[in-house]
Structure 1
């Protein structure tokens, strides 16, 4: 589905729009920066590791640090002369089985995906209220449909949506707050999970970066404020099922996971040994 279709109710002009994008040096951030700039917006990015070839000015910012975040957001707003749109895109994934005690990896994902979003949004809120601006949260399908072996990512994204809901209500309609729900896109965010032998390759169908970018733009530019936006036709089906038929969704995911375990896909993965050890018991229960 293209941007014009997503913007069925009409669009606002991006010309002159003052935009801050977190995670601006990553896959989505770079694509969003390039597209918005080509549409006439003024974009400043924030990233923990800016790149020399970034398409826009990107300020170094560690969203896990209060001072780094507040300083970088203030500097970005100063450069732009105000703020009309914040895209909370920074995020990481990684292996985190729910049956194991929280590790440093779990805390890192929660710190970046949830609390990093919270820090940036709090620092930007006064400027967004002044401009009657918008916030777009890049959440995840896993905010509504959890996958096994990645509990921290799903928990952080579901909590991000809860934070977005609270922010929307607290700002009293003066600032639009939208959540976008990508399914799975090929990007470095999956590298650490694959390296741990926990790839869920057989449980996801990949969608394009362009589809995610178009959906973020729809949330940012539609004349009518949008609340929740999946990023693909398949994603809309998954979102609907997870919201309205959660037991059916659980069964589909569980059955697929059990099949993956039975195939030996996780036999060499240290973090999945609990699931491997339960293989026969679970298979018997499924019959």
Structure 2
């Protein structure tokens, strides 16, 4: 796969149709105080873009101006993007980066955790995009959605995250069709990057170790910038060669993708990696493994 990356690398300027000048570009980033958002803000401002962020909890050391905004609140998710756009004097690029993860087995009834992930990952993205649509149409701008490999290839015990990201991609598809040809919409598909988003999953004893191969943050940032700055609008962009293979398998050979994930999950159960995790009780019992009670 590293050979594939080296082979494609020199062709990217041709595939992208060149690159737009980021200097002076007006950019809005959601989830701007988190791991991805801070890295994106720093990189874009370093390239000369004007960037404003939105976040539920802005930090004093944020590298860009970040407005407080709860994107699960209809009023805030409408007013804050408009305030950011007014500060920027328009909008050329919206990066829908805000998102959360967490354990949510599909065989259990949906609770607060499931609703929280859907509210932020899907509906929060929808609210901010809708509030930004007029400004993007006026500038013939661009929207970049931080989706996930799990939007195409689901992993066990994380149904809410996969469902919310797959629904986010469906929303992006609808937005692309409705706003064409005035606004370009690209979905970027990272795999797993070490960040606090995985903390609740690890605390539940459901670590991604062994199910996902972690990738560097810089590669994700590079892919987002490529989506936002390439002259040719890309529909979908994986962040690694491995990610490209996984997306291809999930879309064109879904049965094979299912078998690979099922076998990997069975190996995880058999190794004892999930022993005692209450949210894995069903699979553990069916595999004859230990389940912690109480």
Structure 2 residue corresponding to 1:203, chosen from 211, 215, 220: 211
2:234 & 2:176 partners in 1: Cα distance?
A: 11
Equivalent residues in 2 for 1:81-230, closer than 5 Å: 81-230=89-238
TM-score by length of 2: 0.93
1:64 & 1:217 partners in 2: Cα distance?
A: 26
Segments ≥4 residues shifted beyond 3 Å: 1-8
Contact 1:6-1:218 at 8 Å conserved across structures: no
- Matched residue, 2:43: 35
**Shift of residue 6 of structure 1?**
4.0
Contact 1:185-1:209 at 8 Å conserved across structures: yes
Aligned residues: CA RMSD: 1.4
**Shift of residue 7 of structure 1?**
4.0
**Shift of residue 200 of structure 1?**
2.1
CA gap 1:184/1:5 in 2 versus in 1, 3 angstroms: farther
Task: Note the alpha carbon deviations across 1:239-261, whole angstroms, 9 max, x for none.
Answer: 11111111001000000001111
Task: Note the alpha carbon deviations across 1:64-121, whole angstroms, 9 max, x for none.
Answer: 0011111110110010000000000000000000000001000000000000000000
Match status 1:267 vs 2:275: yes
SS of equivalent residue, structure 2 residue 94: strand
Task: Note the alpha carbon deviations across 1:187-208, whole angstroms, 9 max, x for none.
Answer: 0000000000111211111111
**Shift of residue 233 of structure 1?**
1.0
- Matched residue, 1:18: 26
Task: Note the alpha carbon deviations across 1:199-253, whole angstroms, 9 max, x for none.
Answer: 1211111111110001001110111110000001111111111111110010000
Q: Which runs of 5+ in 1 are unaligned?
A: 282-287
Contact 1:135-1:177 at 8 Å conserved across structures: yes
Q: Which runs of 5+ in 2 are unaligned?
A: 290-294
- Matched residue, 1:285: none
